Amino acid sequence: MPKVSMTVNGETVSGDVEGRTLLVQFLREHLGLTGTHVGCDTAQCGACVVHVNGDSVKSCNVFAAALDGASVTTIEGMANADGTLGVVQQAFQDHHGLQCGFCTPGMVMTAADLLKRNPNPTEAEVRAYLEGNICRCTGYHNIVKAIMAAAANMSGAKVAAE
Amino acid sequence: MAKDSGIGASIKRREDVRFLTGAGNYTDDISIPGQLYCFFLRSTVAHGKLNGVDTAAAAKMPGVVRIFTGKDFEAVGGLPCGWLITSRDGTPMKEPKHPILASGKVRHVGDPIAAVVARSLAEARDAAEAIEVDIEELPAVIDMKAAVSGSAASVHDEAPDNICYDWGFVEENRDAVDAAIKGAHHVTTLDLTNQRLVANPMEPRVAVGDYNRASGESTLYTTSQNPHVIRLLMGAFVLGIPEHKLRVVAPDVGGGFGSKIFHYAEEAFCTFAAKAIGKPVKWTSDRSEAFLSDAQGRDHVTKIELALDQNGKFLAIRTNTLANMGAYLSTFSTSVPTWLHGTLMAGNYTTPLIYCNVKAVFTNTVPVDAYRGAGRPEATFQLERVIDKAAREMGIDPIELRRRNFVPADAFPYQTPVAVQYDVGNYQATMDKIVELADVAGFPARRAESAARGKLRGLGVNAYIEACGIAPSQLVGQLGARAGLYESATVRVNAAGGIVVMTGSHSHGQGHETTFPQVIAEMFGVSEDMVDIVHGDSARTPMGMGTYGSRSIAVGGSAMVRAAEKIISKAKKIASHLMEASAEDVEFKNGVFSVAGTDKTIDFASVALAAYVPHNYPLDQIEPGLEETAFYDPSNFTYPAGAYACEVEVDPETGVVEVKSFAAADDFGNVINPMIVEGQVHGGLAQGIGQALRENTVYGADGQLLTGSFMDYAMPRADDMPMFTVDHSCQTPCSHNPLGVKGCGEAGAIGSPPAVVNAVLDALNSGGIKVDHIDMPVSPARVWDAIQAAQH
């Protein structure tokens, strides 16, 4: 079995995996990071989105063995250093952007990726970027609101820092 | 000023923190040391005689522990159906056995034939491929009309004509309805399909069975909306395990929408196999498997006739419906097209005569059961569509036609001709509100603006009502329910003041952990932080019936209030002793007990402490401790109602429909947490708009599911949805429960499909394209076809 080493949420981890082991299986079953979810088997729902080397990736669609040396961030790595919710996470709570919580980790990871690439998205841009993330609970209304608010909070924080 | 605590406050959800940090505990997150993995080999044909299952080669595959087939389950019960329907001729419904693993025949693609238990999922899956199954294929029974034509194959020998029951309601009204329709000034007729949907909560189902040799107790961890119901059904009817030896835990559950109410074969299998093997057994559905094994929703084919007088007054309604049961009777399947559907056919209107005939049909498809709304969306859709068609035929404004027929605000309680009695309501008020919210007055200008861009703009408005807070046990018992539908709660006030509420309700997205403490905080005058909710574990909560039918706050919340009232009553006695006053003179307000007419006070925490440290305490009169349980059985359903408005733009060149706006005016009675209520409506609207425009479950004539993944089944996505305008300021509080609440979980999914379809038809007809009806989903292809048919 191939051995794989990577950095996950800032910690170096390694393990023996089968060639067919998916990144999401490695995270959930080998590392016990169960915040990343599996909601489909056709790369449609986005519940499994994590960041790999800074890009959002569907972890159900990439082999763990292919990511030797990669840097991975999961939902467990998104809070602030002091344990408080990060800006995107906090906006989801403030705007009731989640109900059952199952799609939420993928939504947060995708939203963070969007805001990194486009700090001031329009509503249409937010909706378009969420194309690969399905939520069955919220009707997306409050998810879109949360992401718009996170964008505003981030730019506000940046202005304050400058 | 908005409240920041208690009833009516939009408090942020406490459960969000764990969900936002990956700390949730969903069933698939549970792994027990030594657990084995299960993979089900499922039928790839829709209908066939099962001549043999050869597992010999598979059993020798690496990692395989044991393989089970139908033979292993011949001695145990089938999955039970919870509601007996009686046909018009007085005979009981046909109720064939639903085995855990197929026996004798396979009856739908996805019917489980064998289960491989192995050390890893990959090994179980590999071994399943080595099982040889000998199936003699039989003709598939898929289309309902063909199924009941007399020339189709039989899905079950017990029902040669494929009819489960032939139900008439209200049977005594049948002749009077016929006569009223025959003699009416105008009759509008509409044939329509309420298409089959797949609930698709984002978390697929999971079951983990565990058996403790030391205690002899079986534990099932499962993705359920009602763990006690699963314990009851599986323990008493399938596996024969008494309650004290069976624990069912439904931890964080990632959405349900009805599909996780039912008792499924995989739950019984994992519980059974864990005991048989002596090791935990885990099954995790993948999405493709969910499409073939989760009970699906809707699937009615209906003809509705509405008789009106010359002024547009509704005189009578007659409906004929074929309702698909699929291959087997799922837990509550039989109640959905009957008591959850026929009883809603009065809608918001004073129609005096109603008759519904429903034939439930077996087909070689996945079983059909409750999905968000369950029977009530089907009733609302046909009623609100036929009213719109009648308005067009008679040249009456569709809003005006509805207003002429609304049950007047001063007519409550209103006895409908279809058994139910509406306790309160004000349908003109919600219609007034929607006319304002949707800016109906400004619509002509928006239509002109669309027209200038070559688009057809349409406005659809409708009313809806639903029966929620399910349900009065004695009433539903008379109607064939095989269970009571009360709810329970235990309120435990601990010595140092921490409060725990153990409820039979179950939260799988609804936010009970936030809203239930708001009620307790209001009643006890304490901070919400002092109150925790325990739910989802049969060992930690009193027997309860769970969450569906928008019943949690109306029934579960009422049980909690009753238990809390018992706490306050006892605490007053303790306080009266401590303050040396008569109990009748003790008042309780904002967390403080006081003696009327004096300055004596004692706070809630001190009374709680005294209850557990009873040194100065009337032990001769009351017991120590401060913990009470209540079971609440509602005296009536609740009747949330409202009016919805949708504006669409249709591209006449392509048939593409764009939802430009959607507004909802709901009367939910009192509201505990407005933020959460609005979120519930948003989600319901998305599912209703999804049904209207996108979602469809399509079987080929051979019974293969053609929409078996998210690649093919069109789930609503973010860019399909508008921002919603929702309002719940019209409030007629429920008259018969202590909180005056009605429930809000299903309204959006019930009220929205007709608004969307009515809007599309308004757009087309206003553009001179004469179209009476388009079946859902109103896809671009269907709209384009309708335009072509109208123009040629």
d(CA B317, CA A162): 69
Q: What is the mean pLDDT of residues B442-457?
A: 98
How many CB pairs lie under 8 A apart between chains A and B? Answer: 184
Contact B709, B697 (CB under 8 A): no
Beta strands in B266-370, from DSSP E residues, in sequence order: 281-284, 297-308, 314-326, 353-362
d(CA B477, CA B597): 50
What is the residue whose two structure tokens read 């990956």?
Answer: B22
Contact B310, B388 (CB under 8 A): no
Q: What are phi and psi of B756, to 5 degrees?
A: -70, -50
Q: Looking at A146-160, B380-394, B768-782, which range is the least confident one?
A: A146-160
Contact between chains at B22 and A34 (C-beta distance less than 8 A): yes
B525: Cα separation from own chain's centroid: 33
Contact between chains at B21 and A76 (C-beta distance less than 8 A): yes
CB neighbour list of residue B614: distance below 8 Å, 6 or more residues apart: B624
Q: What is the mean pLDDT of residues B122-141?
A: 98
Chain B residues within 8 A of A44 when measuring between CB atoms: 709-711, 715
Q: Which two tokens stand for residue A154?
A: 């981030």
B709 interfacial to chain A (CB closer than 8 Å): yes
Domain B31-139+205-284 has CATH 3.90.1170.50: yes
B2 interfacial to chain A (CB closer than 8 Å): no
Q: What is the mean pLDDT of residues A77-91?
A: 96
Q: What is the mean pLDDT of residues B293-311?
A: 98
Q: Which two tokens stand for residue B486?
A: 């009360």
Region for residue B8 given its phi and psi (left: phi exceeds 0; alpha: psi -120 to 50; beta: otherwise) = left
Contact B277, B296 (CB under 8 A): no
Contact A15, A30 (CB under 8 A): yes
Asked whether residue B510 carries a pLDDT value surpassing 60, the answer given is yes
Q: What are phi and psi of A160, to 5 degrees?
A: -60, -40
H or E element in which residue B231 lies: helix B227-232
Q: What is the mean pLDDT of residues A120-139?
A: 98
Q: Which two tokens stand for residue B319?
A: 């409906």
- Write down the pLDDT at residue B761: 98
Contact between chains at A35 and B287 (C-beta distance less than 8 A): no
- Write down the pLDDT at residue A15: 95
How confident is the model over B577-610, as pLDDT tens digits?
Answer: 999 999 999 999 999 999 999 999 999 999 999 9
Rg over alpha carbons for chain A, rounded to the nearest Å, is 16
Contact between chains at B717 and A130 (C-beta distance less than 8 A): yes
d(CA B496, CA B608): 7
Q: Which of B23, B24, B509 sits opposite A137 (nearest CB)?
A: B509
pLDDT-based confidence at B792, cuts 50/70/90? Answer: confident
Q: Which of A93, A128, A136 sits opposite B255 (nearest CB)?
A: A136
Q: Which of residues 74-113 of A touch B (CB under 8 A)?
A: 74-76, 78-79, 85, 89, 92-94, 96, 98-105, 108
d(CA B489, CA B544): 8
Q: What is the mean pLDDT of residues B88-94?
A: 98
How confident is the model over B517-553, as pLDDT tens digits?
Answer: 999 999 999 999 999 999 999 999 999 999 999 999 9
Asked whether residue A94 carries a pLDDT value surpassing 80, the answer given is yes
In this structure, which CATH number among 2.60.120.10, 3.30.365.10, 3.40.50.720, 3.50.50.60 belongs to the domain B486-632?
3.30.365.10
| ipTM for the predicted complex | 0.97
Q: Which of A99, A126, A130 to mutate to test the interface with B (most CBs of B within 10 A)?
A: A99
Q: Which of A63, A140, A145 to mutate to test the interface with B (most CBs of B within 10 A)?
A: A140
B16 interfacial to chain A (CB closer than 8 Å): yes
Contact between chains at A78 and B21 (C-beta distance less than 8 A): yes
d(CA A93, CA A29): 28
Contact between chains at A18 and B122 (C-beta distance less than 8 A): yes
Q: Which two tokens stand for residue B717?
A: 């996505």
- Write down the pLDDT at residue B776: 98
Q: What is the mean pLDDT of residues A81-107?
A: 97
How confident is the model over B458-467, as pLDDT tens digits?
Answer: 999 999 999 9
Q: Looking at A84-88, B1-5, B280-284, which range is the least confident one?
A: B1-5
Q: Cα separations (Å) of B126 from B41, B209, B321?
A: 11, 22, 44
Asked whether residue A156 carries a pLDDT value surpassing 80, the answer given is no
Domain B297-406+426-470+636-791 has CATH 3.40.50.300: no
Rg over alpha carbons for chain B, rounded to the nearest Å, is 27
pTM of the model: 0.97
Domains and CATH numbers, chain A: 3-77 (3.10.20.30), 87-161 (1.10.150.120)
Asked whether residue B2 carries a pLDDT value surpassing 90, the answer given is no
Q: Which of residues 133-162 of A touch B (CB under 8 A)?
A: 133-144
d(CA A73, CA A50): 6
Chain A residues within 8 A of B717 when measuring between CB atoms: 130-131, 134, 140
Q: What is the mean pLDDT of residues A133-151?
A: 98
- Write down the pLDDT at residue B406: 98
Asked whether residue A54 carries a pLDDT value surpassing 90, the answer given is yes
Closest CA to B647 of B778, B773, B388, B458: B458
Residue type, position B225, single letter: Q
pLDDT-based confidence at A158, cuts 50/70/90? Answer: low
How confident is the model over B483-506, as pLDDT tens digits?
Answer: 999 999 999 999 999 999 999 999
Asked whether residue B468 carries a pLDDT value surpassing 60, the answer given is yes
What is the residue whose two structure tokens read 């993330």?
Answer: A133
Q: Cα separations (Å) of B501 from A79, B5, B469, B528, B563?
A: 30, 18, 20, 12, 9
CA distance A1 to chain B (A): 15
CA distance A89 to chain B (A): 6
Instruction: Return the axis-axis angle of helices B747-766 and B376-394, rounded to nearest 10°.
Output: 20
Q: Look over chain B and give the mean of its residue pLDDT values, rounded to a whole number.
A: 97
- Write down the pLDDT at residue A155: 85
CB neighbour list of residue B631: distance below 8 Å, 6 or more residues apart: B486, B487, B488, B542, B559
Contact between chains at A89 and B20 (C-beta distance less than 8 A): yes
Task: Residue A139: count other Cβ atoms within 10 Å of its Cβ.
Answer: 31
Asked whether residue B707 carries a pLDDT value surpassing 80, the answer given is yes
Q: How many CA atoms lie within 13 A of B218 on its CB side?
A: 28
Contact between chains at A141 and B721 (C-beta distance less than 8 A): yes
Cis peptide before B471 (omega within 30 of 0): yes
d(CA B250, CA B268): 14
- Write down the pLDDT at residue B618: 94
Q: Cα separations (Å) of B739 from A13, B128, B590, B728?
A: 52, 53, 18, 16
Strand partners, B211: B218
Q: Look over chain A and give the mean of its residue pLDDT values, rounded to a whole number.
A: 95
**Domain positions in chain B:** 31-139+205-284, 297-406+426-470+636-791, 486-632
Residue type, position B329, single letter: L
A62 interfacial to chain B (CB closer than 8 Å): no
B294 interfacial to chain A (CB closer than 8 Å): no
Q: How many CA atoms lie within 13 A of B200 on its CB side?
A: 30
Asked whether residue B1 carries a pLDDT value surpassing 90, the answer given is no
CB neighbour list of residue B747: distance below 8 Å, 6 or more residues apart: B464, B466, B550, B640, B642, B664, B666, B668, B680, B681, B684
How confident is the model over B387-418, as pLDDT tens digits?
Answer: 999 999 999 999 999 999 999 999 999 999 99
Percent of chain B surpassing pLDDT 70: 100
Q: Which of residues 666-705 of B touch A (CB under 8 A)?
A: 675-676, 678-680, 682-687
- Minimal Cα distance from A98: which residue of B? B16
Asked whether residue A128 carries a pLDDT value surpassing 60, the answer given is yes
> Across the beta sheet with B186-197, what order do the strands follow?
B163-169, B353-362, B314-326, B297-308, B186-197
What is the residue whose two structure tokens read 């509100």?
Answer: B433
pLDDT-based confidence at A2, cuts 50/70/90? Answer: confident
Residue by residue, DSSP assigns B525-546 as T--GGGEEEE-SBTTTS-S---
Q: Cα separations (Å) of B466 from B171, B260, B457?
A: 22, 21, 29
Percent of chain B surpassing pLDDT 90: 98
Per DSSP, the three-state class of A92 is: helix
Number of residues that make up chain B: 792
- Write down the pLDDT at residue B464: 98
B23 interfacial to chain A (CB closer than 8 Å): yes
d(CA B430, CA B347): 14
d(CA B152, CA B146): 6
Asked whether residue A159 carries a pLDDT value surpassing 90, the answer given is no
Calculate the CA dihedral of residues A82, A86, A90, A91 and round it to 10 degrees: 160
How confident is the model over B229-281, as pLDDT tens digits?
Answer: 999 999 999 999 999 999 999 999 999 999 999 999 999 999 999 999 999 99
CB neighbour list of residue B671: distance below 8 Å, 6 or more residues apart: B8, B677, B728, B731, B741, B744
Calculate the CA dihedral of residues B152, B153, B155, B157 and round it to 10 degrees: 120
Q: Which of residues 738-777 of B touch A (CB under 8 A)?
A: 748
Do domains B297-406+426-470+636-791 and B486-632 share one topology? The answer is: yes
Q: Which of A29, A39, A141 sits opposite B202 (nearest CB)?
A: A39
Per DSSP, the three-state class of B604 is: helix
- Minimal Cα distance from A140: which residue of B? B718
